[in-house]
Structure formats: C-alpha cells, structure tokens
Structure 1
Amino acid sequence: MISNDAESQFVTFALGDEVFAVPVGVVREILDHEDAFKIPHGPSYLLGLRDVRGQGVPIVDLRLRLGMPATEKTPHTRVLVLDIPLGQRILTLGLVADKVFEVTPFRQDAIESAPDIGVRWRSEYIEGVVRRQGDFVVVINLAQLFSDSGPALASVANNAAA
C-alpha cells in the first residue's frame, strides 16, 4: 500500500499561462518542435505525423484539444513524446507544449481531486491539481483524454478506417 506522503515524479510544462503535468513514466523523450506531415481530414488538434526514431508519431496540439487558442511556435516550443497505456495497448503520440519546465516530485496527498471547473476544461480530463508557489499545476488524465471512448483520437481512427 502506498502511503499518502509518497511522491511521484511529473514533467511540468506550460500552455499559455497555465502549468500542466504528466507522469514522468509516460514521457519517452522531449524534442524541439518541427512541422509535422499533415494528415488529411484529421481533427484540427491533430497537427500530423512526425518521424521519431523510425516511428510515425501523431503530433497533437494540446492547446486546441483543450479548447485553447492554437500553439504559436517559439524557440521554447517542445514536443513531449508520450507512451500512454490504454487498456491492452500503448498509444504513442507527441504533445506540443509552449515550454517544458522540469521533472518535479508531487506528494500523493498534495494532489487534490479534479474540481468542477465549468466550461474551460472538462474535468474528466483532469487527474488532479497541485498547489505550487501560489498557483496551480493541472495533472492531466492522459488515458481519459486520448481513450477510444473519448472524442479525442476516436475521430482519427474513424477517419483512417473510412
């Protein structure tokens, strides 16, 4: 049994003025931003494919997926290549972030449950929030955000099957 004061490591990154986090265990690597190969008829947040060490990896603009304005590329823009466990398979994709900060530990008892925050982000995509330095870090529930049952990448699979 894990005690409440156990720590987990997270990669923190920015989308605009907001700070988000994903578990370090799902982050394969962090790359400089490059334009992706466009995929016809994909959802607006799917920027296309990028070759990552011989594998075609879908690149997602997380800002668009969360209902924010599109990412504007800067020298700080990065792509987090993630291996997300979804049931019996692993979904590999790249998330575009405005800036990647650091790997940081959060105590399990410091991660508050996802609040009902209304329209801006749907709370089922939020694993929890952590108060840090007078602000909040939003821990994203990647499996929920990108599950087949969710609207995220299901439309990509439907378009590919058509």
Structure 2
Amino acid sequence: MAVSVESQYVTFSLGEEIFAVPVSVVREILDHEEPFKIPHGPDYLLGLRDVRGHGIPVIDLRLRLGMNRTVKTPHTRILVLDVPVADRVLALGLVADRVFEVVPFRAEQVETAPDIGIRWRSDYIAGVVRRDVGFVVIIDLARLFSDSGPALAHVGPSAQVA
C-alpha cells in the first residue's frame, strides 16, 4: 500500500488569487508596517523592516509577479520567510493582502505548473492544487528570488543585518 506524503503550506491572497508557501520557510507573520525605504531599489522592494534586531527586506509580491501594487488594508500582513537560495538562506518579508491558514496538501494533489500565459511566468510556480472553487498556486520561492533571475539583483547578503 502506497503511503501518501503530505506537506504543510501557509495560504494567502494577492487580490482574488490564492497562493501558498511551505510552512517550513515561514518564520512568522506580522502586521503590516511601512518599511524603511531604500533608495534606488527595484519597485517591488518596499524597504527594510526591523524583525527582532535584523533588517529584513520587504517585497511587494504583487509587483514581483506583475500585478498591481498592494493597497494596505487592516488584513494586510507580512510573511517573514527564510528562503533557501543556492548556498545561503535569504531572509525576507512578503506582503500579502490576507493570510488564511496552514493547510496540508498531499503530494498527489499538487499538479505541475501549467503554461498559464504571461500573467505569471510559470517557472516561478512549484505547482497548483485544485480546490472546490479555483486553485491554490504554490510559489517556488527559491526560483523567484534566486541570483539567476532579476528578482533580488539589488538585494544581496549585504542588505541583511546579521
């Protein structure tokens, strides 16, 4: 009998779309506060936020994925993540319109990323999960924020406060 492998994900929304990241990379979820601005950064880099004595870059994921800029509401949150990228761990904050819950997805539920056109580049999608209404898009954080892409070309280890 085959054993179903299950992984836990934190689900959140950007507009009407539902996304997920592995719970294993989520350090904490914070209320939104305006970050300290960094001059000449890419538009999606909102600035730095002090998280327990460390300067963490805050990313507007909506802009990084080609959507409209986030409009802050009482539900806006920042997911503080530790993303393994190449030979280091990148600490960053992602702005989400709303954070929902931690949900388990079985390996067989996760479909490969379809070619979904130009709204999101599918190489940033680790997979999709069908739900009763719509889909949950699992983001490949390592690809989204790797050195090989333009994602954080302006933010490297020197921007982090150890």
Q: Which runs of 5+ in 1 are unaligned?
A: none
- Does the 8 Å CA contact 1:4/1:107 hold for their aligned counterparts? no
Shift of 1:68: 0.3
SS in 1 for 2:155: helix
Which residue is 2:90 aligned to?
A: 91
Shift of 1:134: 2.3
How many residue pairs end up in the alignment? 157
For 2:88 and 2:56, how far apart are their aligned partners in 1? 15
Alignment of 1:102 with 2:101, yes or no, is: yes
Question: Where is the helix percentage greater, Structure 1 or Structure 2?
Answer: 1
For 1:146 and 1:53, how far apart are their aligned partners in 2? 22
Alignment of 1:12-161 (within 5 A): 12-157=11-156
Shift of 1:130: 0.1
For 1:126 and 1:33, how far apart are their aligned partners in 2? 25
Runs of 4+ in structure 1 deviating by more than 6 angstroms, as ranges, are none
Cα root mean square deviation, aligned: 1.4
2:121 counterpart letter in structure 1: R
For 2:41 and 2:155, how far apart are their aligned partners in 1? 6
2:38 counterpart letter in structure 1: I
The TM-score normalised by the length of structure 2 is 0.94
Shift of 1:131: 0.3
Shift of 1:4: 6.6
Shift of 1:78: 0.1
